[in-house]
Amino acid sequence: PQAEAEALAAFGDGGLYMEKVIGKARHIEVQVLADGSDAIHCYERECSLQRRRQKVWEEAPSRALSDRLREDLCASAVALAKAVKYSGAGTVEYLYDDEADRFYFIEMNTRIQVEHPVTEAITGIDLVAEMLRIAGGEKLRFRQSDVSVKGHAIEVRLNAEDPAKEFAPFPGQVAELRIPGGPGVRFDSMLYQGYQVPPFYDSLLAKLIVHAETREAAIVRLIRALNELKIGGLKTTKPLFLALAADPAVRAGDVHTRWLEGWLIENAAALAG
């Protein structure tokens, strides 16, 4: 009655829209490429590790999906893209309830995503190049049978924030920069030694992407790359990812979209550094 009364007072209509409560939802999204008449998928990414509903750690493929569910999820995304005659690179986002083994549509992002490199890593497809080709009027160069998954990839977002102080912004000058390298390591960034990080914009400094044959091997590679990385003069979210990579729940993939918020409260001391 109270909710109905509030709706009536605010909108002149007491009707209510009820949504299913998903206690431990996973955020899973499907990458699509389409040219206005045909569409394919490049499999899924999982982005369940979030802080304040912002993704911090993304990976592909999701270890939560069975082969059957993966096929259904990706087919759903392709059907949506075809139905609206979509053209370009896009991401169809879902919530997945692993207790009920069902997925629910959230939205479609009609652009390239920050986390697109993990899909590029496991499929070998340059999504940005394909997006530009399609924008130039070309048709899809790939059939669905051309796309397969090779290994596992993880991306972490390195921000100029201090995890030990509730992620307070940390603008300043990059006094030292050592970029990790080696097989299966990619570092996307505009940083250079002496760069002044301004206080006015998004705090994202870089994306660290790793790729390996298995998820466990990718996590090991991530830890090595993070230990190699040096961004002197700034506080960054590097300690967060080192701590997460060592956490048993993360190693097991037993997370959901609200998991990180509770973990941060319990592990504040581990983030100092």
> What are the pLDDT tens digits along the chain (273 aa)?
799 999 999 999 999 988 888 999 999 999 999 999 999 999 999 999 999 999 999 999 999 999 999 999 999 999 999 999 999 999 999 999 999 999 999 999 999 999 999 999 999 999 999 999 999 999 999 999 999 999 999 999 999 999 999 999 999 999 999 999 999 999 999 999 999 999 998 999 999 999 999 999 999 999 999 999 999 999 999 999 999 999 999 999 999 999 999 999 998 877 765
Strand residue runs (E) in 36-115: 39-51, 54-60, 87-97, 102-109
**Which of these, 208, 236, 207, 211, lies nearest to 221 by C-alpha position?**
211
Within 10 angstroms of residue 85's Cβ, the number of other Cβ atoms is 12
Catalytic annotation, pick one of 63, 111, 178, 251:
111
Q: Domain 151-268 sits in which CATH superfamily?
A: ATP-grasp fold, B domain (3.30.470.20)
pTM given for the model: 0.93
Q: Which pLDDT score, from 0 to 100, does residue 272 have?
A: 65
For residue range 163-203, what is the model confidence (pLDDT) as tens digits? 999 999 999 999 999 999 999 999 999 999 999 999 998 99
Q: Where in the chain is the domain with CATH 3.30.470.20?
A: 25-147, 151-268
Q: Are the CB atoms for 159 and 204 separated by under 8 Å?
A: yes
Q: Which pLDDT score, from 0 to 100, does residue 199 have?
A: 92
Structure tokens at 58: 């993304």
Q: Domain 25-147 sits in which CATH superfamily?
A: ATP-grasp fold, B domain (3.30.470.20)
Helices (H), 199-247: 215-228, 238-246
Coil/strand/helix, residue 87: strand
Give the number of residues written for the chain. Answer: 273
Q: Which pLDDT score, from 0 to 100, does residue 268 have?
A: 82
Sequence-ordered list of residues with C-beta below 8 angstroms from that of 255, at least 6 positions apart, any chain: 26, 48, 49, 249
Q: Is 111 a catalytic residue?
A: yes
Q: Which pLDDT score, from 0 to 100, does residue 273 have?
A: 52
**Parallel, antiparallel or unpaired: strands 54-60 and 185-189:** unpaired
Within 10 angstroms of residue 238's Cβ, the number of other Cβ atoms is 23
